[in-house]
Amino acid sequence: MEKKKIQLVAEPLTAEGFAPFGDVIEADPNSENHFSINGGLIERFNDLATIDVTPEGGRPLINIAICNKATALPYHIVFLERHPLGSQAFIPMDDTPMIVAVAPAQDHIEPSDIRAFITNGKQGINYNRSVWHMPMAPLADGIKMLMIDRGGEGNNYEEFHFPDVDVHLDIPK
């Protein structure tokens, strides 16, 4: 039996477009979260993401992840993952775009539920708790990301596979 084919094209990442899935983390001088401190020496971008470690407990972890290999395009989405006990944030330490593919926080997902975005290289993302997402997908080798997620008791990792569907993800040419 031949797999059904789904073609996704990543759209530019915006706070409005990504809102159902989490937060866009960026230093936007036009945002209401931007202000100057220390006599104008420092620009602060405040409260950019809601870190969620569930009412059951846990603690925020601050990590650095290095993506050793660039994502080859078109990317074949074999599975999505989620973290049911807490949010998960990725903040770039390099100026390199990455692809983000997400689906709603529900028990069963269809490939048609997936939305794809491409960052501008300076934007980070914070996935809401239980939002399905693909693994990190940078467009260059050796990219470093600051990663904030949940540590503590309990299983905070699940996968959803698409065995009968061939999902291809690309960026606009």
User: pTM of the predicted model, to two decimals?
Assistant: 0.89
* Number of separate domains in the chain: 1
Mean pLDDT per 10-residue run, the chain (173 residues)? 89 96 94 89 90 85 92 94 96 94 96 96 96 94 93 93 92 85
Question: In the chain, where do the E strands start and end?
Answer: 4-9, 11-12, 22-25, 34-37, 42-45, 59-67, 75-77, 79-82, 88-92, 98-103, 115-118, 124-127, 132-133, 137-138, 143-151, 158-161, 165-170
CATH number at residue 124: 2.60.120.480
Domain with 13, as residue range(s), is 4-170
